[in-house]
Amino acid sequence: MLLRILGTAAGGGLPQWNCACPGCTGARREPARRRLHDGLAVHGTDPASWFLANATPDVAEQLESHPDLRPRADHARTPVVRVVLTDAELDHVLGLFRLREASRIEVWATVPVRRALLSQLRLGTVLAPYTPLIWHDLPLIGESGPATIAGLDVEALPLSAKRPRYAADEPADPAWSVALRVHDPHGGGTSLYAPALAAWSDAFAKEAAQADCLLLDGTFLAEDEPRRSGISERSASGMGHLPIEGPLGSAGRLSGSAPALSYYTHLNNTNPLTDPGDPGHERLARLGLRVAVERTVISL
């Protein structure tokens, strides 16, 4: 399997259009620091076959910037686009509207995510005049067995009941936010993608320890970062994102058991790690962890 990292930023991207924090200012000064919204393209053994993990507001530029994701010379257009969603957050779903030129969009989502997109965002009503939207249930680990997408086995681990703000009235459900486990039945590799990890659980620890590649929530470096940077009165974990460092941090939890390929993604623009010179990078490297770089291709 091949994982193409299409973007590595949290909602807003880096720089965020309305923000002049040190991270956004640094990215304007040094374009190499810019980050698009986090998402992946995942290929099985057939390089022409792939699916997206999340459809970000940047999706069209993300597809265009990877030659292997552009329409093939022997097809006038990319016929079908397949999208697997980890949640219903705007930074992970707005790209579905941008994909309306597809001749068909196939979406794998959990029940609450699908319901939010249909009833709150009216995705089905809006896209119907443009392209068919085909829904598939995203199977949960241990339930009905994996979905086969682009020749890969895909299942989800429920992580949290945190709903998007626009769906606050929707019912609670443990599968509002999930980690995606992708297993290659031919090559044998397994990846785990969790851009929003609200709490550390035994189930998540087990999946992480068994993965060959982990792409993990790196929204905030510290638990008090949202408050210190003035973006929220809540803590990082209170916003649904375990911090990387500190007593609650995912880095300490992973220390000693992190897969050899472990990357933080979904970085918020307040995260000091958006500066490549930040000493936090060395602290993570000592634990075998690193921050994902835009456009990295990981082969498993």
Rule CB under 6 A: say whether 196 interacts with ligand MLT. yes
Q: Which of 24, 51, 89, 215 binds Mn ion (CB under 5 A)?
A: 89
Q: How far is the CB of 267 from Mn ion (least distance, A)?
A: 10
Region binding ligand MLT by CB under 6 A among candidate stretches 86-94, 104-112, 203-211, 291-299: 86-94
- 220 near 226, Cβ under 8 Å? yes
Strand stretches in the chain, DSSP E: 2-7, 39-43, 50-53, 81-84, 105-109, 133-137, 147-149, 152-160, 177-183, 190-194, 213-217, 261-265, 290-291, 297-299
Q: How far is the CB of 20 from Zn ion (least distance, A)?
A: 7
> 3-class SS at 97?
helix
The residue whose two tokens read 């039945």 is 185
Number of residues that bind Zn ion (CB under 5 A): 5
Q: Which does 165 bind (CB under 5 to 8 A by kind): ligand MLT, Mn ion, Zn ion, none?
A: ligand MLT
Q: What is the dihedral of CA 163, 116, 183, 240, to 10 degrees?
A: -10
Token pair, residue 244, equals: 């990387």
Region binding Mn ion by CB under 5 A among candidate stretches 66-74, 90-98, 162-170, 233-241: 90-98
Q: Which of 1, 24, 27, 222 binds Zn ion (CB under 5 A)?
A: 24
Q: Which of 91, 184, 207, 225 binds ligand MLT (CB under 6 A)?
A: 91
Region binding Mn ion by CB under 5 A among candidate stretches 9-17, 120-128, 197-205, 246-254: 9-17
| 47: preceding bond cis by omega (within 30 degrees) | no
Which residues contact ligand MLT by CB under 6 A?
10-11, 89-91, 165, 196, 239-240
